[in-house]
Amino acid sequence: MSFDSLGLSAEILRAVSEKGYTMPTPIQQQAIPLILEGRDLMGGAQTGTGKTAGFTLPLLQRLLDSTTPTKGRRPLRCLVLTPTRELAAQVHESVQTYGRYLPLKSAVVFGGVSINPQKMKLIKGLDILVATPGRLLDHVSQRSADLSKIDILVLDEADRMLDMGFIRDINKILALLPKQKQTLLFSATFSKEIKTLANKLLHDPALVEVAQINTTSERVDQVVHHVDKNRKRELLSYMIGSNNWQQVLVFTRTKHGANRLAEQLDKDGITAAAIHGNKSQGARTRALAEFKSGKVRVLVATDIAARGIDIDQLPHVVNFELPNVAEDYVHRIGRTGRAGNEGQAMSLVCVDELKLLKDIERLTKSNIPTITTEGFDVDPTIKAEPIQNGRGGRQQQAKRKPGGNSADKRYGASKKPGNRSSAKKPDSPWANAGNNKPRRSNNQNRAQSGNR
């Protein structure tokens, strides 16, 4: 099946072709015809499978087919809700890319930046709005956003929105929308809470699942490296340097931990930047742009960024710390191995995290291979300690409740299996990195505080 056979306009097909795509992915093949029919849809797919284009392309077509000349301010007809600023920007970029030859206007609104330029765009009139829930409600309260004419509603990464505590805001937004509309709910995981929301929102929905939920992509080579907690940073720098990794996305549990690790990597001669909810939107955008361009070699992120970073051919993801919730492991490593490319995901696991590793393997129904590196053997005398959250917070081993803590608050390439490193650790493990030798060296905050 090609895009030509899906019933899309010549203008949309031209934009798709210029993007370099010729064959739709499985989620696109199944979802696009159903959406074009006007069906409500519940879509599930592994991250990186083309889900965004799976709803963007048909919603552009439906809006194009129903566009009529109007005098004055054009009504807002399509609303896409996302949990994070980065994901909102990513979705809007897709809308602009595929709709470049269409007479449709779009905008994206999220917090962390001035609201006034956003208001001006809304007041002039739009067809499509991509938004985070908190900032959208700000616009509603200031009467710059009118949701009464919405024909199509898209909830992207709906499970993340519930996890981040957006359910109240979502309910407020739903109360402002027309009862008669097409609703599309996309998610990488389907929890009981998501199914409850779907039953409330969707009318006779079609269900599209192109892969078993909570599974990882076969194109991602996963490994675990057991290491003592106090040697994780040293091992990470050694792996990046000795393997000459040039683009690495690293996940930590906490904002403070992300900042500290980025600073330590810089001292090791490896350019790094941190991205998390406490960073200004300008700093987050700049760090992501520098990482994509190669100016920054390592991007250290909290889980706030797990679903908002879309980088073609990102080769390496490292879990510096395992997530407290197993499902987030799937989203983290889904940043690599996207769009048919190969990827590598390494998890640095200390004794404190063995239970978390078991939870991940139970969820994904797989045993993740382990590798070793000489000189980084685990000290068997070290005993497991409770995993602390942030500034001396409480133990975080329990499962989170839906709608509970915000993503940042929850969270305080690898060699292929069998290829165990036997070489002695060099005196200067960063020598091959192309860098100078290094100098060694609050409960549930509202999600909008970081992603409004």
Mean pLDDT of 23-43: 94
Mean pLDDT of 37-65: 89
**Most distant pair of Cα atoms in the chain: their distance:** 76
CB-CB neighbours of 68 under 10 Å: 5
Structure-token pair, residue 187: 């998610």
Lowest mean pLDDT among 16-30, 125-139, 230-244, 261-275: 16-30
From CA 133, how far away is CA 171, in angstroms rounded?
10
**Which of helix, strand or coil describes residue 74?**
strand
Lowest mean pLDDT among 42-51, 139-148, 351-360, 369-378: 42-51
- Residue 378 in this model has a pLDDT that exceeds 80: yes
Q: Can you give the pLDDT at residue 212?
A: 55
Structure-token pair, residue 277: 């909810």
Residue 245 exposure: Cα atoms within 13 Å on the Cβ side: 32
- Residues paired with 155 in a beta bridge: 81, 185
Q: Which amino acid is at 248?
A: V
- Residue 443 in this model has a pLDDT that exceeds 80: no
Q: Is the pTM of this model over 0.75?
A: no
Which is more confidently placed, 84 or 115?
115
- Residue 403 in this model has a pLDDT that exceeds 80: no
Q: Can you give the pLDDT at residue 413?
A: 35
Q: Can you give the pLDDT at residue 276?
A: 87
Mean pLDDT of 47-67: 89
Q: Output the CA torsion 296→302→306→312 (10° steps).
A: 10
Q: Can you give the pLDDT at residue 165?
A: 83
Q: Can you give the pLDDT at residue 335?
A: 79
| CA distances to 60, 172, 197 from 322, in Å | 39, 34, 29
- Residue 228 in this model has a pLDDT that exceeds 80: yes
Mean pLDDT of 321-330: 88
Q: Can you give the pLDDT at residue 446?
A: 41
- Residue 408 in this model has a pLDDT that exceeds 90: no
| CA distances to 72, 241, 344, 358, 372 from 432, in Å | 62, 6, 20, 35, 20
Domains and CATH numbers, the chain: 3-209 (3.40.50.300), 220-445 (3.40.50.300)
Compute the mean pLDDT over every residue in the chain, rounded to the nearest whole number: 82
Using an 8 Å Cβ cutoff, are 271 and 264 in contact? no
Q: Can you give the pLDDT at residue 387?
A: 85
From CA 354, how far away is CA 383, in angstroms rounded?
11
| Residue 1: DSSP 8-state | -
Q: Can you give the pLDDT at residue 325?
A: 85
Distant-in-sequence, close-in-space partners of 301: CB < 8 Å, separation ≥ 6: 249, 250, 251, 252, 258, 274, 275, 276, 309
From CA 48, how far away is CA 217, in angstroms rounded?
9
